[in-house]
A and B are shown apart, each in its own frame.
Chain A
Amino acid sequence: MQQDFEADFWKDAERRKIWDDIVPGEPRKTIPYTLTLEAIQRYCRAVGDLHPLYFDEEYARRSRYDGLIAPPSIHILLMFACIPADDWMRSPGTVNAGQSWSYNCPARPGDTITLQARALDKFIKRERLFVIHDNVFFNQQGDVICSGRGWTIRPM
């Protein structure tokens, strides 16, 4: 686990915006995150993905990626790593309803990742409170790593 990460999602629950407070279009506060090889490999192991592009430096250097990379789905980690403790993505009971992501270039160990994020839309359907999230991750060169949209059901 990351050293300074608060794993108790209840702790800052009172400080987080609820559905009523969320303003679509308003940028969310985000924090830069240095992606380590250790974090990449911990994620890979959690989904049983031991591809040599993520684990074998020699293999990766000879590949067309010219070095170790992270799998495209590393944004699953980056989403939580790049937001502060009072962000509403951490609200207990947030249910993921769907996701769509586009991939441009791979994240790499040592990259400093930044996130631009906002709610894009919010609506009520079948007595449930939905928010559509809009997220773009960049590396330290300003290249887009990936961009994605998520649908969550907000806790009542």
Chain B
Amino acid sequence: MSKFFDTLVAGYRIEGTEFGISRESIRAFCDASLDYNPLHIDDAYMTGSFGKTNFGGIIMHGMTNFGLITRMLTDWAYSENAVHRRLETRWLVPVKPDDTIRPHGSVKFKHVTAKSRWVVIDVEVRNQRDEQVVTGEALVEFPPDAAP
């Protein structure tokens, strides 16, 4: 049984990789996700207003944040024979071309159930101005029978 779970304490930090956003990276995400919403493509459309919001130009897919947080969590989980089980996110600030974003995680608490062991992680994404653009929570399972 992996001993790593036993050593984990609240506040343990998990760091993601910095990711630079460009018009090209947004276009690549369109092709990868098949999400061609004009929010991510059409500057002319994005000069209009959405209710009370005006973005002033194309924005990154919110789900790019989701994918980057997932990458951080799976890199960590795979290396410890753990399994990424859940991710919940809320978008706070839109991300635009020339922004640089980076996901972070911090262990909130551990919990042992009848059949397995779990770690709840606070996650967030911050931009180059250190603004929180996404906040959320993840759940990673450390199965007791996983090979060390």
Cα-based distance from A99 to B35 in the complex (angstroms): 16
The listed residue (A10, A80, A127) touching B38 by CB distance below 8 A is: A10
Task: Name the residue on A nearest B63 (C-beta).
Answer: A76
Say if the beta carbon of A27 comes within 8 Å of chain B. no
Report B64-97 residues with CB < 8 Å from chain A CB. 64, 66-68, 70-71, 74-75, 78, 81, 83-91
A47 close to B35 (CB less than 8 A): no
Contact of B89 among A5, A71, A98, A156 (CB under 8 A): A98
The yes or no answer to A61 lying at the interface (CB within 8 A) is no
Distance, CA A79 to CA B81, complexed state (A): 28
Q: Which residues of B contact A51 (CB under 8 A)?
A: 71, 74-75, 78
CB of B63 to closest CB in A, whole Å: 5
- Nearest-Cβ distance from residue A115 to partner chain B, whole angstroms: 13
- Which of A17-25, A89-97, A132-140 sits within the interface? A89-97
* Bound: A128/B75 CA distance, A: 37
Q: Please classify how large the interface on chain B is, using the bins under 10, 10 to 19, 20 to 34, 35 or more.
A: 35 or more
Contact partner of A71 (CB less than 8 A), chosen from B50, B70, B88, B91, is B70
Residue in contact with B33 in the complex, picked from A46, A64, A95, A97, CB distance below 8 Å: A46
Taking a contact as CB atoms under 8 Å apart, the answer to whether A47 and B68 are in contact is yes
B65 to chain A, nearest CB (A): 10
**A100-B67 in contact (CB<8A):** no
A2-B50 contact given A95-B39, A101-B87, CB 8 Å threshold: no
Q: Which residue of A lies closest to B72 (CB)?
A: A49
B5 proximal to A (CB < 8 A): no
Q: Are A99 and B31 in contact (CB under 8 A)?
A: no
CA distance A153 to B90 in the complex (A): 13
> A interface, how many residues as a size bin?
35 or more
B38: chain A residues within 8 A (beta carbon): 9-10, 92-93
Q: How far is the CA of A97 from the CA of B19 in the complex (A)?
A: 21
What is the minimal beta-carbon distance from B49 to any residue of chain A, in angstroms?
10
Of the candidates A7, A96, A100, which one forms a contact with B86 in the assembled complex, judged by CB atoms under 8 Å apart? A100
Given contacts A47-B32, A48-B68, A80-B34, 15 further A-B contacts (CB under 8 A): A7-B34, A7-B36, A45-B32, A46-B32, A47-B29, A47-B68, A71-B70, A73-B71, A80-B33, A92-B38, A92-B39, A93-B39, A97-B91, A100-B88, A153-B50
23 contacts between A and B (CB under 8 A): A5-B34, A9-B36, A10-B38, A42-B32, A46-B32, A47-B70, A48-B68, A49-B70, A51-B74, A64-B147, A71-B67, A72-B74, A72-B84, A73-B66, A73-B71, A77-B32, A81-B34, A90-B37, A93-B38, A96-B61, A100-B86, A103-B86, A153-B50
Pick the 7 closest A-B CB pairs, nearest first. A46-B32, A80-B34, A100-B88, A47-B67, A73-B70, A96-B62, A98-B90
